[in-house]
Chains A and B, each alone.
Chain A
Amino acid sequence: MSDPSGAASFAALDQPLPDPPALLTHRTGMLVVENLVVRYGPITAVRGVSIEVGAGETVALLGPNGAGKTSIVSAVIGLVPSTGRVSFDGRDVSGLSPEERVRAAMTVVPEGRRVFANLTVAENLRLGGFVRRRERDQDAERDRYLAMFPVLRERLDQLAGTLSGGEQQMLAIARAMMSKPRLLILDEPSLGLAPRIVARIFEHIVELKKSGITIVLVEQNMMQALAVADRAYVLSTGSIRHAGPAAELRADPRLADLAIGGH
C-alpha cells in the first residue's frame, strides 16, 4: 500500500542507523550551515543541523512534512531567527538580513511559489532583478529566462495571480534567477503540481544545474529529487538522519518504496 505522503518511508529512517549521519566535508563549501537551531516559542523545529554545499553542487534536503526543511531554508536566508552559523562563500552571513543575503548572491524560490499575484509577469521579473537594477544586461538576463520558460513570454502582461500553478512555479524560478544568484534554494518546487508539470519543472532544474549554479533542492518528492541531486540530506523531526551521495540513497532499500518518488 503506497503512502501518498511518503511518511512511512521517512519513518523508517527514524530507526537507529548503523553509522552516524555522514557529512561530506566541503570545507571550501559555498554554503556551510553549522549547528543550526530554529525555535518557534517552545517548539524546536530544527535541532542542531549542519549542512555543507560545495560550489556547483546540487544538494537535496529531503524529509516529510514537519521535518524542518522549510525552517532550515528560512533560517539560511534569514527570514526566521536561529542560532548556529551560516556561512556563504567563506563569509559568516548569520547576522545579515534576508535582503543582505540576497545581495550576497543567495536566493530562494519559496514554498508555495509566492509570486506577486497583483503584479504582471513582467513586473515580477523586474522586481526579481532589483539587486541588479543598475546593471545594463537586465533585458538580456530576462530574455534568457523567457527562452527557458517560453510560456512566460506569452503572458508577460498577465497578472501573475492568474497563471496556473506550474506557470507560477516557472515564474518564481525565473524571478529568483533575475538576481543572478550563485546559490539557488528551491523550496518544494513540486508542491501541489500535477506529475506532468513536476517533470517539466525538474527538467528546468537540470537545465539550471548544467549552467553551473549551486542548488539546494528541498523536496518531499524524494526519488525525483535524488535523480537530480549530487548529494542529499534526509531529515526527520528537525534532525539529519542520513546523508550521502544521491545515487547511494536512491539504492537504499529504506527509501525504495517511497510512493511519491515517481521512480
Chain B
Amino acid sequence: MDYAIQQIVNALAFGSEYALLALGLALVFSIMGLVNFAHGEIIAVAGYSVFFAVALGLQSVLGAVTIAIVMGIVTALVFERVAFRPVRYAPTTTGLLTAFGVSIVVQNMLTLFVSPKARAVPVLGPLNQTFFIGPYAVSSLQLLELAVTIVAIVALVLFLNRSLLGLAIRAAARDFSTVRLMGVKANRVIATGFALSGFLAGVVSVFILARRGSVEPDFGSAPVIKAFVACVLGGFGSLAGAAVGGMVLGFLDVAILVALPQKFGGLRDALTYFLVGVVLFWRPQGLLGRTVELGDKEV
C-alpha cells in the first residue's frame, strides 16, 4: 500500500512536470502553428542563469527561482523577436527548421562558452527534502511540482478565460488573421504566448535543477521530447489536451517502470512511446484533439 501511494505521488510529480512542459509548447503552437523545439533551450538558459548567479554569489532559493523564471520569459521573448518573428508568415517547415536551428546554436554556444560538462547548481537543493506524512515518505519537490502545476494551470485558465488578451490568444489559436481584424496587435498576442511559455519553461527549469543539482548544455533536450509526445497524446493545439497528455504520460512512465523487471528498466521510454502509439491508433487526433468538421458548424 505504501509502495502504491509512493508510486502515485511519483506519477503525479512526473505528470505535473510533463504537463507544464507540454503547456509551454502547446501555447506557442496554438497561436503560431510552431512546434518550438527550442523550448528545451529556454529551460537550459534559465538553468544556466541560475548557475551564473550562484557563481556570482547568489545563495537564496527565492532569488534563484526568480532568476530562472525571469530568464525563461526573457529568453522566450528574445527567441521570438530574433528568430521566429522574421519567419512568422513563412511555411510551417521553415518555423520548425528555425526552432531546430535555434536549439542547435544555443546548445553549441553553451558547450563552447561554458562547458560541455555538467555544472553543479546546488542552490535549489533545499526544495528537494524528504519528510514524512504519517508513515509515508514524501519528497517536498514532488508536492511542490504538483501544487505549482495546479496553480499554474488554474492561473492560465483564468487568464485565458477572463482577460481580454487571454480571449484574443484563444481566438488566435483558431483564426489568427481574424483576431487582427478585432484590432488586436499580432505582435502582442504572440509575445504574450511566448512569455507565458517562457514562464512555464522557467518553472520547469527550477524543478529539474532542484532534482538534479546540475546543469548541462542538453539540459532541456529530453524534457522537450517528452513535452512534444505529451502534446501529441493530448491533441496538438489543445491546451487542456497538453495538460492531460502530460499527466497521462507521467502515469505511463511510472507504471511501466514499476511493472518492468529491473533489468529491462532501459526499455521504459520505448514501451511508453509504444503505448502512446497505440492510443494514437485509437484516437489519431489525440485524447482531447478536435476533429475538423466541414461545413458551417464547428464545435
Report whether B297 and A131 are in contact in the complex, using a CB–CB cutoff of 8 Å: no
Nearest-neighbor residue (CB-CB) of A114 within chain B: B178
Q: Which of A108, A127, A165 contacts B296 (CB 8 A)?
A: A165
Report whether A108 and B181 are in contact in the complex, using a CB–CB cutoff of 8 Å: yes
Interface-located stretch among B144-152, B166-174, B251-259: B166-174
Cα-based distance from A108 to B179 in the complex (angstroms): 11
Tally of contact residues, B, Cβ under 8 A: 22
Report whether B164 and A127 are in contact in the complex, using a CB–CB cutoff of 8 Å: yes
Which of B179, B183, B297 has the most C-beta atoms of chain A within 10 angstroms of its own C-beta? B183
Cα-based distance from A99 to B179 in the complex (angstroms): 9
Cα-based distance from A109 to B167 in the complex (angstroms): 19
Instruction: Decide: A98 near B181, CB < 8 A? Known: A116-B175, A161-B299, A168-B296.
Output: yes
Report whether A102 and B177 are in contact in the complex, using a CB–CB cutoff of 8 Å: no
Report whether A98 and B180 are in contact in the complex, using a CB–CB cutoff of 8 Å: yes
B178 CB contacts on chain A under 8 angstroms = 110, 114, 116
Q: How many A-B residue pairs have CB under 8 A?
A: 78
Cα-based distance from A192 to B299 in the complex (angstroms): 19
Chain A interface size, under 10 / 10 to 19 / 20 to 34 / 35 or more: 20 to 34
Cα-based distance from A10 to B152 in the complex (angstroms): 58
A238 CB within 8 Å of chain B: no
Which of A99, A110, A179, A192 has the most C-beta atoms of chain B within 10 angstroms of its own C-beta? A99
Cα-based distance from A128 to B41 in the complex (angstroms): 37
- A73-112, CB under 8 A of B: which get 1 and which 0? 0000101000000000000000001110011000110100
B186 CB contacts on chain A under 8 angstroms = 97, 99
Which of B182, B184, B185, B299 has the most C-beta atoms of chain A within 10 angstroms of its own C-beta? B182
Report whether A102 and B182 are in contact in the complex, using a CB–CB cutoff of 8 Å: yes
B2 CB within 8 Å of chain A: no
Cα-based distance from A77 to B171 in the complex (angstroms): 19
A133 CB within 8 Å of chain B: yes
Report whether B182 and A128 are in contact in the complex, using a CB–CB cutoff of 8 Å: yes
The smallest beta-carbon distance between A203 and chain B, in angstroms, is: 21
Tell me the residues in window 216-238 of chain B with beta carbons closer than 8 Å to chain A beta carbons: none
Cα-based distance from A134 to B182 in the complex (angstroms): 15
Q: List 26 A-B contacts (CB under 8 A).
A: A79-B177, A98-B180, A98-B181, A102-B181, A102-B183, A114-B175, A114-B178, A116-B175, A117-B174, A118-B170, A118-B174, A126-B164, A127-B171, A127-B179, A127-B182, A130-B164, A130-B182, A130-B184, A133-B164, A161-B297, A161-B298, A162-B299, A168-B296, A175-B182, A176-B181, A192-B296
> Chain B residues in contact with chain A, CB under 8 A?
164, 167-168, 170-171, 173-175, 177-186, 296-299
> Chain A residues in contact with chain B, CB under 8 A?
77, 79, 97-99, 102-103, 107-108, 110, 114, 116-119, 123, 126-128, 130-131, 133, 159, 161-165, 168, 175-176, 179, 192
